Amino acid sequence: MILDSLKDTLRFDHIGIAVTDFEPAIALYSQMGYTCSKPVIDPLQNVDLVMCYSDTMPNIELVKPLDIHSPINSLLKNNSESLYHTCFGVSDLKKTIETIKKTHRVICVKHPKPAILFNNKPVSFYYINGIGLVEFLEE
What's the pLDDT score for residue 23?
97
- pTM as predicted: 0.93
Q: From residue 42, how far is each of 11, 32, 72, 103, 118 by CA, in Å?
A: 23, 26, 13, 33, 10
For 80-115, b/e burial (b = at least 16 CB within 10 A) is ebbebbbbbbbeebeebbebbeeeeebeeeeeeeeb
Q: What pLDDT does 3 receive?
A: 61
Look at residue 2 in the predicted model and tell me its pLDDT.
Answer: 53
Predicted confidence (pLDDT) per residue in 31-40, tens digit: 999 999 999 9
Q: Is the pLDDT confidence value at 9 over 70?
A: yes
Does the CA dihedral 80-85-89-95 come out positive or negative? negative
| Rounded Cα gap, residues 17 and 63, in angstroms | 6
Q: What are phi and psi of 5, to 5 degrees?
A: -70, -15
Please report, rounded to a whole number, the percentage of residues in the chain having pLDDT higher than 70: 97
Give residue-wise pLDDT tens across range 60-96: 999 999 999 999 999 999 888 999 999 999 998 989 9
pLDDT at 1 > cutoff 80 = no
User: What domains sit in the chain, N to C, each tagged with a CATH number?
Assistant: 2-138 (3.10.180.10)
Sequence-distant (6+) residues with CB within 8 A of 30 are: 36
Reply yes or no on whether the pLDDT at 4 is more than 80.
no
Query: To the nearest whole number, what is the mean pLDDT of the chain?
Result: 93
Number of neighbouring beta carbons within 10 Å of residue 64: 21
Alpha-carbon distance of 16 to 133, in angstroms, equals 10
